[in-house]
Amino acid sequence: MRKPSQRAQSLFFSRDESWLGFNRRVLEEAQDTSNPLLERVKFLAITASNLDEFFEIRIAGVLQRIEDGYNEALPDGATLRESLDAIRAETQRFVADQYRCWNDQLLPALRAEHIRVLSWDEMDEDARLFATDYYQREVDPLLTPITIDPSHPFPRVLNKAMCLALLLRRKRRGTAGPVLGVLTVPRALPRFVRVPTANGREDYIFLADLIERNAGGMYRGYEILSRAAFRVTRNSNLYFQEEEARSLLETVRAELHNRRKGDAVRLEIDSQADPEIVDRLRTNFELDESLVYHTDGPVNLSRIMTLYGSSSRADLKFKPFVPHELRLNRKSVDLFDELRHRDILLHHPYDSYDGVVGFIEAGARDPNVVSMKQTLYRTSADSPIFKALTEAAQTKEVTAVVELMARFDEASNIRWARDLEDAGVQVFHGVVGLKTHCKLALQVRRDPDGIVRRYAHLGTGNYNPDTARFYTDLSLLTADQEITSAVHSVFNYLTAHSESDDYRPLLVAPLTLAESFIRLIHREAEHAAAGKPARIIAKMNSLLEQSLVEALYAAAHAGVQIDLIVRGICSLRPGLKNLSENIRVRSIVGRFLEHSRLFYFQNAGDEEIFCGSADWMPRNLFERCEVIYPIRDPQIKARVRDEILAAYLADNVKARQLRPDGSYVRLRDASQPAFDVQDFFILVAEGKADIADIPRRQQTTTEAPKSRPARAPKKRAATATAAD
């Protein structure tokens, strides 16, 4: 890997600092008083959960590579040690800001709404009696007190388990100095205990605080000198190699990486903890002082998500809405009949995910469907899709490609695979060395006219009805012969490693995807140079692949107008003179997790639009099986262009624009009407808005790529998901 030049160093943002910037944007939602109060609590909990994964994977990976002696410069020009120092400094600042949000904003606001998180001393006598009884009945039987001494070594503290450390001294005279006691808070119990109140209040105490109050009863014969809650984050970095290391040397070092698996990478501890407790824990976990995080409040803020779920205050949460249901043309006999005449696009969660589930269930029930194939990356605990596949296996050929190494879902996916095999489903695990991340379902049906046809679902999100309620994703249902034939070829690749020379009209990673995107970007540059219409709009979760960033720079320099909607990591630096002045990058963080991937190329007026499962990341392009599919139906193209993309580019409430220095600024302009893209899509689903309600923006910032039709009545737009 060659060391970048000084100029190259200035062209790319650090991956990890960019991700930390994303998490700060989530924190801003917790600080934003325009959001409902309990939703702000939820956003704060999400920032803590995000940070957990960042330490488990990214920080663990950086520590691994430093230990291995990796000292080459990163794309942003920094060494790993320099990058780690910057990350440590930023995460310390971030944690301080998290607790300021909790202590100074959320707790007072919750109290004002009569929701209180109490200490033991703040509870009245009735609440204390209830809490004591709860502790004795539910908590005490699950606790195992441990004292660290020569015959009792330090216990194996589980990753992210809430624990209590106690500095103890024997009451008998003549005994040795203080010893350390450790208690693990049971994971089987709720993080908050609600205590009875009068006057409609909601009062809670943290489970850890309740255990701390009663800890003396488990250490009889000891004097408790001090106590402190703590939590250890461990290296869970099973797959660091897939992220960015593909060389033989990195493969050889895999065993060395495994040796560090499970080592501590962070210690969170109460800021009031006795220094002796901190020092003993840090020494035991072999942690540098810079990886100790002192918390000015409850250790592990992700616990406060329980408060969101426990509270009955619906008035302090986002107003629920009913997704738009898929309705068939009155002339259609069934969904298959409908798909023979037109494609269907579903925009989740605004369009109900029942349309996808219904497609799979229809195939399972229909005796004319003779074969079903499905990829599964993540799914829900009680999945109707899983049930449909197992039932279908009794009467037809059913194949499932289950990705066992979906991070943090490994155990559940292994269970899914075994249960599917027991039901008669042929289960495969994709191509060795590649994660199967594409979202595909294929059904072969002998139709009433005697012709055997293929029907497919292609998506941007997982086959998970639970997350489909709060992830934005796109689903295409189609009987397009070329698309379904290509999907069939992809399944052959996954089950038999049978490579094809051509998967068109699909773009498939790791075979054709990267080069295809680069070709499409270069084509726009050629159009711009020739004076033809040239525009790129791309929406994704992350943008990191250097070759694509360089292609975008070249296209922008040639005159292509480029708008990027990137939720999380973005290594591209917009607004650089004579290079990226024509590139605008925005991030939208709101009620729903922006998860859909959309790619628009103006192509001199012959527009092409693609959707799919892949971000512009090295892992998506080179180490996963991904599928990007075209939108070919003219009505759906118009909907994507004029409704979906235009609305994202018009948002000035939740959108933040990336500056050349790496900071993000909100686009809210008091002189312009407020437009929240997610609220708009809810209104569209409810039949209360349409594309005429999308504000017009200037071409240089947020104008949609094509003029819109005249205003229509307030009803669901006549697109591929509306009833005729």
- Does residue 318 carry a pLDDT above 80? yes
Query: Residue 412: its pLDDT value, please?
Result: 64
Tokens of 56: 């488990």
User: Does the active-site annotation cover 595?
Assistant: no
Query: Residue 353: its pLDDT value, please?
Result: 97
Query: Residue 186: its pLDDT value, please?
Result: 93
Query: Residue 153: its pLDDT value, please?
Result: 79
DSSP result, 85-145: HHHHHHHHHHHHHHHHIIIIIIHHHHHHTTEEE--GGGS-HHHHHHHHHHIIIIIGGG---
DSSP result, 218-242: GSTTEEEEEEEEEEEEE---TTHHH
To the nearest whole number, what is the mean pLDDT of the chain?
88
Query: Which residue ranges does the chain devote to CATH 3.30.870.10?
Result: 335-496, 507-693
- Average pLDDT of the residues in 216-233: 92
- Average pLDDT of the residues in 642-657: 97
- Does residue 701 carry a pLDDT above 60? no
* More confident call, 261 vs 703: 261
- Does residue 309 carry a pLDDT above 80? yes
Go through the chain and tell me how many residues it has.
Answer: 724
Q: Structure pTM?
A: 0.89
Please give the CATH number for the structural domain made up of 6-316.
3.30.1840.10
Query: Residue 174: its pLDDT value, please?
Result: 59
Which residues lie closer than 8 Å to 650 by C-beta, 6 or more apart?
Answer: 675, 677, 694, 695, 696, 697, 702, 704
pLDDT tens for residues 621-632?
999 999 999 999
Looking only at the bridges linking them, the beta strands covering 624-630 and 435-436 are: parallel
pLDDT tens for residues 595-623?
999 999 999 999 999 999 999 999 999 99
Token pair 């699950």: residue? 142
Q: Which of 437, 457, 527, 595 is catalytic?
A: 437
| Top mean-pLDDT range of 306-310, 329-333, 632-636 | 632-636
Question: Is the distance from CB of 302 to CB of 327 less than 8 angstroms?
Answer: no
**Cα 259 to Cα 577: distance, rounded to the nearest angstrom:** 47
Model confidence at 405, pLDDT cuts 50, 70, 90, reads low
Half-sphere exposure of residue 71: CA atoms within 13 angstroms, side-chain side: 2
Looking only at the bridges linking them, the beta strands covering 452-459 and 439-446 are: antiparallel
Query: Residue 413: its pLDDT value, please?
Result: 64
- Does residue 406 carry a pLDDT above 90? no
- Does residue 300 carry a pLDDT above 80? yes
**Cα 228 to Cα 278: distance, rounded to the nearest angstrom:** 9
Query: Residue 237: its pLDDT value, please?
Result: 63
Count of CB atoms situated within 10 Å of the CB of 249:
9
**Cα 204 to Cα 325: distance, rounded to the nearest angstrom:** 39
* More confident call, 456 vs 84: 456
Query: Residue 102: its pLDDT value, please?
Result: 98
Please give the CATH number for the structural domain made up of 507-693.
3.30.870.10
Least confident of 253-267, 654-668, 687-701: 253-267
Question: Is the distance from CB of 435 to CB of 406 less than 8 angstroms?
Answer: yes
Query: Residue 407: its pLDDT value, please?
Result: 55
Could you give the percent of the chain with pLDDT greater than 70? 89
3.30.870.10, 3.20.20.80, 3.60.10.10, 3.40.50.150: CATH of 335-496? 3.30.870.10
Query: Which residue ranges does the chain devote to CATH 3.30.1840.10?
Result: 6-316
